[in-house]
Structure 1
């Protein structure tokens, strides 16, 4: 496995491929994403360790959605079991994925504890405060600092689940390789982010125009959340392509699929 440097324009290709692949299996890909969100929400409601468990499944769920994208690319209908692909790859890989999940949960909780100490505790908005509460300088500063802290965490864990699952890299090394790969392909990831920002912005404009034509604010309120979740599912479909193009299997030309097939062949002579 070696790092592959791609041109900045590849970022837009990742966006296009994510949308195209999602549209090949829209029901399956959106259903799997909603299933993951539902599982995380249910876990977060559990007492004591619920939130930690919800955070720990993020790397494994990310890998599951990437595996679902592979299935869609092959023209197959991804089944719900694909979401637990990370836990069907042998004890060593499962243990590594659990360690990765623990590290991710620890990083997120550390950010949650550190941000209030730096910017001051932000009081929870009143139920009727709505949009006004989110426009306060304190709230905006809190969100900005949180995003700045989460950015390096995101880079560390972006490729890590796939590196652990498909290439057998140890959790700590996978974090290092993921961070380096994201930095070396910073131009492509910048275009990737800008491309998805444009897609989300365009969807927001369309909703606003339709709502204005209908003269119904209720339509906009009812349409926003489902469409945001649908767009998030589409975005998650594109993550696989960022990994596929950022690394080259050894020997050159092998893909994550072929590497996995080779491993299965070795395990089952």
Structure 2
């Protein structure tokens, strides 16, 4: 499976293309994204096994969002039920991807625990609150650095994996390998993409802060509207960068 190597400026274009895709059917894409989060929250609330189940179904649910974005991009009609369509596309390998990602996450947390005696792990698992003393602990800063360095390759391996396994019908291991290679080849575009997302959040947030000084009500309304638009656009941009890097992803392409 061949991944294109793209110039850095394509990272900025992904955000614009994500917005244009969202604008073609904002109701559907917004529903899929927030439905995705709602499903994960409901599953995570299951006692004892919720967190594990959430990780295992996350790739299939994310594939449902991609299926919706693909339908919108191709001008096809799609309903809310497309969110669950990923469960019909190579589900065993999607579950494996979720399991590998979960194991990798615990491995990274284990490394951070060597630096901070488990402070970061307890914060992420909700077993400890972030108070002033904890925030100023130098060990926490070191563990955050270790966590960032350890989770980056894990995220790279996961980024395209649900699409490659679901649409390309390949194994979880191959999907995560190809995803890592694709992200490595396009690190410049992804760096520009990350910087662009930061600007897209920061600039409107600053403007909302200024408007809130003039009219608190307008500021509050805009602070609610911003994530309601921004989050679905980001998910739509995930589809845009996958399409840009791989072109088409089908079993024939994988072969």
In structure 2, what is the equivalent of residue 103 of structure 1? 100
Per-residue CA deviation, residues 228-251 of structure 1 (Å, 9 max, x unaligned), is: 354222101111121112124xxx
CA contact (8 A) 2:11 2:191 kept: yes
Q: Distance in 1 between matches of 2:214 and 2:56?
A: 44
- Structure 1 residue matching 2:101: 3-state secondary structure: helix
Q: 1:120 and 2:117 equivalent?
A: yes
Shift of 1:76: 4.0
CA contact (8 A) 1:134 1:140 kept: no
In structure 2, what is the equivalent of residue 60 of structure 1? 60
Structure 1 pair 195–74 and aligned structure 2 pair: CA distance change class (3 A): same
Per-residue CA deviation, residues 103-130 of structure 1 (Å, 9 max, x unaligned), is: 122222333343233223337337xx6x
In structure 2, what is the equivalent of residue 29 of structure 1? 29
Structure 1 pair 43–133 and aligned structure 2 pair: CA distance change class (3 A): farther
Shift of 1:74: 2.4
Q: Please list every run of 5 or more consecutive structure 2 residues that lacks an aligned counterpart in the other structure.
A: none
Q: Distance in 1 between matches of 2:137 and 2:220?
A: 25
Shift of 1:226: 6.0
In structure 2, what is the equivalent of residue 39 of structure 1? 39
In structure 2, what is the equivalent of residue 151 of structure 1? 152
Per-residue CA deviation, residues 86-114 of structure 1 (Å, 9 max, x unaligned), is: 2223xxx1211111121122222333343
CA contact (8 A) 2:15 2:233 kept: no
Q: TM-score of the superposition, structure 2-length normalised?
A: 0.84
Shift of 1:224: 4.1
CA contact (8 A) 1:157 1:178 kept: yes
Shift of 1:133: 7.2
Instruction: Spell out the pairing of 1:149-228 with structure 2 (5 A cutoff).
Output: 149-214=150-215, 216=216, 224=223, 227-228=226-227
CA contact (8 A) 2:18 2:233 kept: yes
Structure 1 pair 147–223 and aligned structure 2 pair: CA distance change class (3 A): farther
Q: Please list every run of 5 or more consecutive structure 1 residues that lacks an aligned counterpart in the other structure.
A: 249-254, 264-269
Runs of 4+ deviating beyond 6 Å: none
Q: Distance in 1 between matches of 2:148 and 2:133?
A: 18
In structure 2, what is the equivalent of residue 13 of structure 1? 13
Per-residue CA deviation, residues 159-190 of structure 1 (Å, 9 max, x unaligned), is: 11111111122110111111111011111111
Give me the CA root mean square deviation: 2.6
Q: TM-score of the superposition, structure 1-length normalised?
A: 0.80
In structure 2, what is the equivalent of residue 239 of structure 1? 238
Structure 1 pair 222–106 and aligned structure 2 pair: CA distance change class (3 A): farther
In structure 2, what is the equivalent of residue 82 of structure 1? 82
Q: Distance in 1 between matches of 2:220 and 2:69?
A: 30
Aligned length: 245
Q: Distance in 1 between matches of 2:78 and 2:105?
A: 30
Q: Distance in 2 between matches of 1:222 and 1:206?
A: 13
In structure 2, what is the equivalent of residue 251 of structure 1? none
